[in-house]
Structure formats: structure tokens, C-alpha cells
């Protein structure tokens, strides 16, 4: 199979005779801080594929379009081939990460309402925060498209927040990517996993997401396995 694109955590393959679809392969690589920190973590790809598949299925059930078609193996999902926007859409419920750094806030404060932030997906610029006017000037998306992405991101937040809460997890923040499907629909693409969400145990506040790797807080796989266990209801 021909590689369409290789990122830090996934490889995208073309499928012969199926120009509208592609295969996402989840690798075991973990990176942080523009890949200045890097490790191979055995089994991470399998968990992220399983969790992403489960969460994309949930969004589809709730009427939110995604690129997901089905999980085809432990490391692979079949998806619609999408034209990706060079944007990262972050939704925050609780202060953490770059928000705290940028604005001098204490971690763990509940925000009055969900905050949606846009980042320009450019590794060489360290994915800078941009506002809607920047997005329009750079031609990254139209006004209508940005407005739809923000609205969809807020809907995704409502669905995920309540799903995680029922399983004892606090959805602190998460990142979404968007693309246009072959039929022209705006859809959530990429992955939704503990690599792209901050998830804390509701009772203890223990961090179960990629911050364990970013800040050496403990075994990454232990956290991811706990998330998987809770989402699969085991
Ligand atoms: P941040 O606080 O570092 O801006 O991260 C916000 C959310 O986005 C957090 O849940 C982690 C996720 N994220 C990614 O998925 N990819 C990235 O490259 C970064 C920096 C954050
Ligand atoms: N994955 C990103 C990188 O490697 C950053 C992160 O998730 O912290 O740069």
C-alpha cells in the first residue's frame, strides 16, 4: 500500500481501487514538545486505535459526522479520505497546559463556559494560537467553515464530557481536527484518544492522559489502560 502521509503517531495508507477511503495505522510512537521528546511505547497504538474507534462511533451515533467507517484491525481504522484543514481546534473545560502558561493561570480551575481555541498546524512555527481573522487572512478556512468547526467542537464537547463523566473521568480539554469528506461534508477527522484529550480521574484528580509522558508523571500505558477499561465498561 502506498503511504499518503506519515505523522508522528499515525501513518495514512491509500487503498488500491478505493480512492475515497484510506487506512489509518496507529504507531507506538509518543512525542511531545514538537517531538523534542520521543519514545516507543509498546501497545499505545492499539489502545489509541480502539479508543478512537469507540469515540468516533459515539459521535456518529449522536449525529456528528466524522471520517470514521470502521475499525479493521487492532492498529487500523478505515476512514473516508478527507481534505484536511491546517487547524487544530482545542476545547477547554478546565484550565491546564498551554492556557495556563500563556495567561498565567493556575491549573485545575473550572472555566465558566467551554473555551474554544484555534491553532495553526505548522510544526516549524510551533503550532501558534490564531484568531478567526488570522484563519481568514491565511486562507485556512472560510468564515462559515470556522463557525461550523467551533459549533461542532462545542457539540463534541457536550457529548464527550457527559460520556466521560458517567465513567468517572473529567474531560479537561481536547484537540480536534477537521476535514472535508468526499461528499463535501465538514467532519471531525484524525483521532480522539488520551494523546489528544486531557482526562483526569474525577475522584482523585489523577492524570490518565499523555501528560504522564510529557511531564514524567508515571507509566503512560497504565493511564491509557485505565481509560480503556472504563470506556469499555470492564
Ligand atoms: P495544550 O494545553 O498543550 O494547548 O493542549 C490542549 C489539548 O490539545 C490537550 O488535550 C492536548 C491536545 N494536544 C494535541 O492533541 N496535540 C498537540 O500537539 C498539542 C500541543 C496538544
Ligand atoms: N504531539 C506533539 C508533538 O510531538 C505535542 C504534544 O502532544 O504535546 O510535538
At 20-73, the pLDDT tens digits run 999 999 999 999 999 999 999 999 999 999 999 999 999 999 999 999 999 999
- % of the chain surpassing 70 pLDDT: 100
**Band of residue 234 on the pLDDT scale cut at 50, 70, 90:** low
When the pLDDT of each residue in the chain is averaged and rounded to a whole number, the result is 97
Domains of the chain from N-terminus onward: 3-80 (3.30.200.20), 83-219 (3.30.470.20)
Tell me which of 27, 34, 212, 215 to substitute to probe ligand 2's pocket, judged by most ligand atoms within 8 Å of the beta carbon: 34
Atom of ligand 2 nearest to the CA of 214: 8
Compute, in angstroms, the gap from residue 18 CA to the centroid of ligand 2. Answer: 31
The DSSP-derived string for the chain is --EEEE-SSEEEEE-TT-TTEEEEEE-SEEEETTTTEEEE-TTHHHHHHHHHHHHHHHHHHTT--BSEEEE-SSSEEEEE--EE-SEEEEEEEE--HHHHHHHTPPTTPEEEEEEEEEEE--GGGT--EE-HHHHHHHTSS-HHHHHHHHHHHHHHHHHHHHHHHTTTEEEEEEEEEEEE-TTS-EEEES--STTTEEEEETTT--B-STHHHHTT-S-HHHHHHHHHHHHTT-
Q: How far is the CA of 9 from the centre of ligand 2 (A)?
A: 10
| Ligand number, closest to the Cα atom of 34 | 2
In this model, does residue 233 exceed pLDDT 90? no
Q: Whose CA is nearest to atom 11 of ligand 1?
A: 196
Ligand 2 binding residues, C-beta < 6 A: 8, 31-35, 210, 214
β-strands 76-80, 29-32 pairing? unpaired
Ligand 2 pocket mutation, candidates 8, 90, 177, criterion most atoms within 8 A of CB = 8
Task: Give the pLDDT confidence of 80-104 residue by residue, as tens digits.
Answer: 999 999 999 999 999 999 999 999 9
What is the per-residue pLDDT across 110-141, written as a single tens digit (0 to 9) for each?
A: 999 999 999 999 999 999 999 999 999 999 99
Atom 8, ligand 1: which residue's CA is nearest? Answer: 175
Q: Which three cell numbers stand for residue 202?
A: 474525577
| CA-based nearest residue to 9, from 170, 227, 224 | 224
Q: How confident is the model at residue 145 (pLDDT cuts 50, 70, 90)?
A: very high
What pTM did the predictor assign? 0.98
Ligand 1 contact via 91 beta carbon (within 6 Å): no
Q: Determine whether the shortest distance from the Cβ of 153 to ligand 1 is under 6 A.
A: no
Q: Is the CB of 174 under 6 A from ligand 1?
A: yes
Amino acid at each position: 500500500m502506498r503511504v499518503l502521509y506519515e505523522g508522528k503517531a499515525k501513518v495514512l495508507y491509500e487503498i488500491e481501487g478505493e480512492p475515497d477511503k484510506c487506512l489509518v495505522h496507529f504507531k507506538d510512537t509518543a512525542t511531545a514538545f514538537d517531538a523534542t521528546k520521543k519514545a516507543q511505547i509498546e501497545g499505545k497504538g492499539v489502545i489509541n486505535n480502539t479508543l478512537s474507534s469507540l469515540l468516533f462511533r459515539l459521535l456518529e451515533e449522536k449525529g456528528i459526522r466524522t471520517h470514521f467507517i470502521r475499525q479493521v484491525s487492532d492498529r487500523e481504522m478505515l476512514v473516508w479520505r478527507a481534505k484536511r484543514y491546517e487547524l487544530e481546534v482545542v476545547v477547554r473545560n478546565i484550565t491546564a497546559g498551554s492556557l495556563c502558561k500563556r495567561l498565567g493561570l493556575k491549573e485545575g480551575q473550572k472555566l465558566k463556559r467551554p473555551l474554544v481555541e484555534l491553532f495553526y498546524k505548522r510544526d516549524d512555527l510551533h503550532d501558534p494560537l490564531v484568531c478567526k481573522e488570522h484563519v481568514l487572512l491565511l486562507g485556512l478556512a472560510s468564515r462559515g467553515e470556522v463557525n461550523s468547526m467551533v459549533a461542532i467542537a462545542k457539540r463534541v464537547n457536550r457529548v464527550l464530557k457527559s460520556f466521560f463523566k458517567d465513567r468517572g473521568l473529567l474531560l479537561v480539554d481536547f484537540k480536534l481536527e477537521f476535514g472535508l469528506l468526499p461528499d463535501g461534508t465538514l467532519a471531525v477527522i484524525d483521532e480522539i484518544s488520551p494523546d489528544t484529550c486531557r482526562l483526569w480521574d474525577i475522584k482523585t484528580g489523577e492524570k490518565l492522559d499523555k501528560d504522564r509522558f510529557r511531564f514524567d508523571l508515571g507509566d503512560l500505558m497504565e493511564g491509557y489502560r485505565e481509560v480503556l477499561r472504563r470506556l469499555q465498561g470492564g
